[in-house]
């Protein structure tokens, strides 16, 4: 370490100069750092560290005050300030600025060419403001921008095509937590990104080429309830390595070069991209078991009601009849699923949301729950009834129940079956 007592030490060297030679209009240090901060005056209500300016939270800064900020500013933070600034092309004039943070400042509008004089900006954070729309040409002049953060602008509901076309060097684009409803064709066309983050918006529609003509490594858009999309959503997407989507249906139309393991969420155990029931054996068994459940249980109920009315006067007969009705409902449920599988065959992935939100799917879910719960309840009642009957048999004197041993044995066997 080299020290300069009572003098100025030049950066990255062992050179010392007299304090009177600092800011005298002549470069004495090898790197010229003795003249860097001479014209830099820290704005009021702000704290400066070198060429980094951080303005106090809660203070109000007008457009006229912002124009007086030092042009040599490298990093400017106007986070969480009170401002009525309408960003215009003559407000921001910082040709050396690389980091600009104007988050949580109530910003409502940005005019075209507002960033035209920030040619060296690398990071732009406009998160948690009140922006309602992003106009085409709004980001012109930011040819060196690498990171754009627009999270939490809850009033944004649309993006025009080619909104970001001037961002030639952009690598990370984040638009999360907004009211963005639809992705239009070629919204991100021409960009070359490391990550595109569109999580937790309100996207319901993705037009054809909505994510197309884009070079990107990672795409994340989970947390959106997308119901309308096309096969060509990813047409023209290159360099993609990982895809995090709201549902497996988007993995069905992912680019062929993206492996299934790098696409989330994973597929479920039964459905596939083409069919509700992806295994042909399950499709066959669904029809077979459903028809058997319908036919067998309806015959059982008819037999009880017409030919075995005496048994309906007993608790056991009532329970078994109701058990048949519950199992009949399960047969109806299975047939609904079988019919839906046949109707949506080879195109299920595009009808998935329609099916899940349909009345028939809701009705099938109600039947399934009602049938399974009722079956368990009536089996439990039959078991209790037989247990009480068996217990009463053991109270009969031995010489009396000796004659009915096999009856007792058969009841005991039925009881074990019920518990099983």
Other residues' Cβ atoms within 10 Å of the Cβ of residue 210: 25
Task: Express as a percent the part of the chain with pLDDT over 70.
Answer: 90
- Cα 168 to chain center, whole Å? 27
pLDDT band for position 415 (50/70/90)?
very low
pLDDT of residue 34: 83
Q: What is the mean pLDDT of the chain?
A: 84
Closest CA to 236 of 221, 252, 215: 215
Q: How far apart are CA 96 and CA 37, in angstroms?
A: 14
Backbone angles phi, psi at 46, to 5 degrees: -125, 160
Average pLDDT over residues 361-390: 84
Q: Point out which residues pair with 205 in neighbouring strands.
A: 182, 228
Closest CA to 102 of 140, 51, 160, 61: 61
Q: How far apart are CA 210 and CA 375, in angstroms?
A: 49
Q: Point out which residues pair with 123 in neighbouring strands.
A: 99, 147
pLDDT of residue 333: 92
Closest CA to 253 of 269, 276, 237, 270: 237
Average pLDDT over residues 180-195: 91
Report in angstroms the alpha-carbon separations of 294 from 369, 371, 375.
17, 13, 15
Q: How far apart are CA 259 and CA 257, in angstroms?
A: 6
Q: What is the pTM of this model?
A: 0.70
The DSSP code for 262 is G
- Is the pLDDT at 410 greater than 60? The verdict is no
Q: Point out which residues pair with 76 in neighbouring strands.
A: 53, 100
Closest CA to 295 of 324, 317, 319: 324
Say if CB 250 and CB 262 are below 8 A apart.
no
Which segment, 286-290, 306-310, 319-323, is predicted with the most confidence on average? 286-290
- Cα 280 to chain center, whole Å? 32
Q: How far apart are CA 40 and CA 192, in angstroms?
A: 36
Among 88-92, 256-260, 313-317, 397-401, which is the least confidently predicted range? 397-401
Q: How far apart are CA 312 and CA 286, in angstroms?
A: 32
Of all residues in the chain, what percent are helix, strand and coil, respectively (each to 5)?
Answer: 35, 15, 50
Closest CA to 184 of 157, 165, 211: 211
Instruction: Between 227 and 334, name the one with better pLDDT.
Output: 334
Backbone angles phi, psi at 194, to 5 degrees: -85, -40
pLDDT band for position 342 (50/70/90)?
confident
pLDDT of residue 171: 96
Q: How far apart are CA 58 and CA 56, in angstroms?
A: 6
pLDDT of residue 392: 64
Q: CB neighbours of 37 closer than 8 A, spacing ≥ 6?
A: 23, 50, 51
């Amino acid at each position: 370490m080299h020290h300069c007592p009572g003098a100025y030490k030049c950066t990255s060297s062992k050179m010392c100069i007299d304090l009177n030679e600092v800011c005298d209009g002549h470069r004495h240090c090898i790197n010229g750092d003795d003249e860097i901060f001479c014209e830099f005056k820290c704005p009021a209500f702000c704290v400066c560290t070198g060429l980094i300016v951080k303005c106090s939270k809660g203070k109000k800064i007008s457009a006229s005050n912002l124009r007086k900020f030092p042009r040599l500013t490298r990093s400017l933070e106007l986070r969480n300030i009170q401002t009525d600034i309408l960003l215009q092309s003559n407000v921001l004039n910082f040709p050396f600025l690389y980091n600009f943070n104007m988050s949580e400042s109530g910003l409502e509008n940005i005019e075209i060419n507002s960033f035209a004089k920030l040619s060296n900006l690398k990071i732009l954070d406009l998160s948690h403001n009140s922006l309602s729309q992003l106009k085409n040409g709004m980001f012109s002049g930011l040819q060196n921008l690498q990171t754009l953060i627009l999270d939490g602008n809850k009033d944004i509901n649309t993006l025009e095509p080619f909104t970001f076309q001037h961002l030639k060097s952009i690598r990370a684009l984040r638009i999360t937590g907004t009211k963005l409803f639809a992705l239009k064709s070629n919204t991100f066309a021409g960009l070359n990104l490391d990550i595109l983050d569109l999580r937790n918006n309100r996207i319901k529609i993705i037009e054809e080429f909505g994510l197309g003509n884009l070079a990107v490594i990672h795409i994340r858009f989970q947390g959106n309830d997308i119901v309308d999309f096309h096969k060509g959503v990813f047409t023209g997407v290159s360099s993609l390595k990982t895809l995090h989507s709201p549902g497996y249906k988007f993995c069905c139309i992912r680019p062929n070069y993206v492996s299934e393991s790098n696409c989330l969420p994973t597929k479920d155990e039964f459905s596939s991209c083409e069919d509700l029931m992806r295994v042909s054996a399950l499709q066959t068994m669904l029809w077979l078991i459903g028809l058997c459940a319908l036919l067998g249980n309806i015959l059982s109920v008819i037999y009880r009601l017409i030919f075995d009315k005496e048994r309906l006067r007993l608790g056991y007969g009532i329970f078994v009849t109701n058990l048949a009705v519950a199992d009949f409902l399960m047969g109806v449920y299975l047939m609904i699923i079988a019919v839906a599988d046949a109707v949506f065959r080879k195109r299920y992935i595009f009808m998935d949301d329609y099916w899940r939100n349909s009345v028939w799917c809701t009705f099938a879910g109600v039947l399934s729950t009602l049938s399974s719960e009722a079956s368990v309840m009536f089996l439990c009642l039959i078991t209790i009834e037989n247990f009480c009957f068996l217990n009463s048999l053991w109270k009969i004197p031995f010489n009396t129940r000796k004659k009915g041993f096999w009856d007792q044995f058969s009841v005991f066997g039925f009881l074990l079956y019920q518990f099983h």
